[in-house]
Amino acid sequence: MSITVSFSGTSVPKNGTVFILVPSSRNLGAWGEALNKQTGQAITRAMRSQSFKGDAGQSLTIIAPHGVRLERIILLGVGKADTVSEHDFENIGGKIAGFLAKGGAGHVLVQGFENGVSTGEIAARVALGAELGAYRFDRYKTDKKDKPKAARLAIALSSSVQAKKLYSEFSAIAEGMTTARDLVNEPANILTPPEFARRARQLTKLGIKVEVLSEAQMKRLGMGALLGVGQGSVHPSQLVVMQWQGAAKSKQPIAFIGKGVCFDTGGISIKPSAGMEDMKGDMGGAAAVTGLMTSLARRKAKANVIGVLGLVENMPSGTAQRPGDIVTSMSGQTIEVLNTDAEGRLVLADALWYTQNRFKPKFMIDLATLTGAIMIALGQDYAGMFSNNDDLCQKLDTIGKREHERVWRMPMNDNFNKMINTPNADMKNIGGRYAGSSTAAQFLQRFVNNVPWVHLDIAGTAMGSPKTPTSKGWASGYGVKLLDRLVRAYYE
């Protein structure tokens, strides 16, 4: 489904569907009252008869109301006017997209609320939510009847200047999230490491410098950890390096690194067959970084940003890595691979070292669908956050709460670090049954030196996450909005 958003003036529309945002006070606003009058008080009568109280999530549809040529008037409850959040308005936009799933024209009447959020931001947030809620991954459907129609949404408010400015930023975020969702949803027979790299190269059209390192180049750099993961696949591994320069060359860059296991069978330590099809999404971290770079470039972010993707396919074959193998990472540290299904940390080890060694960034944030253990701890509402830097964690927590891409800081300590020691090499790639997410993070920390660093374990939030009005499919695009807003708030 596609939806086109515009911002209109204050006149009440004469056709299509009108959406009115109603708080628990049941205040319809000036435009809503005008429409109520035109319909002979049909709105207030319907509210009384259906016990509509304006509670958050509540809706009421009035079909073909008397006195106007509108197809529908739909009331959308927003809850208490003084506590409704920015994200609540995005959810309302997502619900509006659902009502317009069969196409047609919709109009939203925006009024002010007692929550400190301007009408311009309310309008822009509704527009963002509508774009995200309209997303469908249907490119492989051949029956046109299954494909949703195009829709138009006009958002009416007294002054649209701020709304248009904010929406230009939010629209860039929506494009970035759509990019990430598309990548995660793609089947692994299509999105191989070379194909992912090819799509990343297309970002050059946005002004991003893109390099792709081949297996031969990575071998010369000593990336034995990353290359070991992909050696069982017929598809060559790739390292994608993206550079966005939106500030002076002298300004220190910030860096985002994504795990991109395009399909993870577990390798020789093969996974159970039930649910293995979901492992096409094991590149959710790389997808989020690609979406983030898209968003930053689209809105011309005034920052220098590095995006690095470690792209591999983890397959069992006669050439695959074996349990018990010892590999040498780019850092020179050796790793005993006790479980070939703990592969993402091997990919990130070399990607992190390469990034901090080449670019000397102000900080690094990696994103990875790394452990099932994080879902046992946090479910699918939070990403696990591990870090060596309190300031970065505080910033991410603040942004995550506001943008509803939430994080929860998890523990790291020397005891967890000791759990990955082994007598046969510098470290092993698993730490045992307990604290699996923390020992994985401790493993990664050995490759960041003293660079401020955050590891986000997004196994529960990037794919198969709970359905919401703005995320109705399998892939959520988690991380794009969180990190775009981080850059916007603190580093531009």
CATH number at residue 7: 3.40.220.10
Q: Are residues 13 and 42 in the same domain?
A: yes
Q: Are residues 13 and 74 in the same domain?
A: yes
CB 307 within 8 A of CB 258: yes
The letter for the amino acid at 424 is: N
3-class SS at 25? coil
CB atoms within 10 A of CB 85: 17
**166 found inside a domain:** no
> What are the residue ranges of helices labelled H in 110-160?
119-133
**165 found inside a domain:** no
Q: Domain ends where: 135, 159, 183?
A: 159
Paired residues of 455 in beta bridges: 366, 386
Q: What pLDDT score does 377 carry?
A: 96
> What are the residue ranges of helices labelled H in 324-389?
344-359, 373-378
Q: Are residues 351 and 446 in the same domain?
A: yes
Mention every residue, 6+ apart, whose C-beta is less than 8 A from residue 357. Answer: 330
- In angstroms, rounded to a whole number, what is the distance separating the alpha carbons of residues 258 and 278? 18
Q: Are residues 208 and 143 in the same domain?
A: no
**167 found inside a domain:** no
Rounded to 10°, the helix 193-201/284-298 angle is: 10
Q: Are residues 362 and 220 in the same domain?
A: yes
The letter for the amino acid at 48 is: R
Q: Are residues 179 and 154 in the same domain?
A: no
Residue-wise pLDDT for 288-330, tens only, equals 999 999 999 999 999 999 999 999 999 999 999 999 999 999 9
Q: Domain ends where: 129, 159, 189?
A: 159
Q: What pLDDT score does 148 carry?
A: 67
Q: Are residues 299 and 447 in the same domain?
A: yes
Q: Are residues 321 and 343 in the same domain?
A: yes
How much is the pTM? Answer: 0.96
Mention every residue, 6+ apart, whose C-beta is less than 8 A from residue 233. Answer: 193, 312, 313, 314, 315, 317
Paired residues of 309 in beta bridges: 240, 258
Residue with tokens 């395009």, as numbered in its chain: 262
Residue-wise pLDDT for 406-440, tens only, equals 999 999 999 999 999 999 999 999 999 999 999 99
CB 316 within 8 A of CB 263: no
- In angstroms, rounded to a whole number, what is the distance separating the alpha carbons of residues 143 and 149? 13
**435 found inside a domain:** yes
**In whole angstroms, how far apart are CA 18 and each of 61, 106, 132, 147, 338?**
10, 6, 20, 24, 60
Q: What pLDDT score does 30 carry?
A: 85
**89 found inside a domain:** yes
**260 found inside a domain:** yes
- In angstroms, rounded to a whole number, what is the distance separating the alpha carbons of residues 319 and 351? 23
Q: What pLDDT score does 9 carry?
A: 72
CATH of the domain at 255: 3.40.630.10
Q: What pLDDT score does 420 carry?
A: 98
Q: Are residues 247 and 208 in the same domain?
A: yes
- In angstroms, rounded to a whole number, what is the distance separating the alpha carbons of residues 474 and 286? 17
Q: Which domain holds residue 66?
A: 3-159
Q: Are residues 331 and 288 in the same domain?
A: yes
pLDDT by residue for the chain (492 residues), tens only, comes to: 789 999 977 676 778 899 999 999 888 988 889 899 999 999 999 999 999 999 999 999 999 898 899 999 999 999 998 899 999 999 999 999 999 988 888 999 888 887 888 999 999 999 999 999 999 999 998 887 766 678 999 998 888 889 999 999 999 999 999 999 999 999 999 999 999 999 999 999 999 999 999 999 999 999 999 999 999 999 999 999 999 999 999 999 999 999 999 999 999 999 999 999 999 999 999 999 999 999 999 999 999 999 999 999 999 999 999 999 999 999 999 999 999 999 999 999 999 999 999 999 999 999 999 999 999 999 999 999 999 999 999 999 999 999 999 999 999 999 999 999 999 999 999 999 999 999 999 999 999 999 999 999 999 999 988 899 999 999 999 999 999 999 999 999
Q: Are residues 440 and 474 in the same domain?
A: yes
Q: What pLDDT score does 10 carry?
A: 66
Among residues 403, 384, 196, 365, the alpha carbon closest in space to that of 282 is found at 196
Number of domains the chain contains: 2
Catalytic machinery residues: 271, 345
Q: Domain ends where: 159, 190, 209?
A: 159
**399 found inside a domain:** yes
DSSP secondary structure letters along 289-303: HHHHHHHHHHTT-SS
Q: Are residues 64 and 203 in the same domain?
A: no
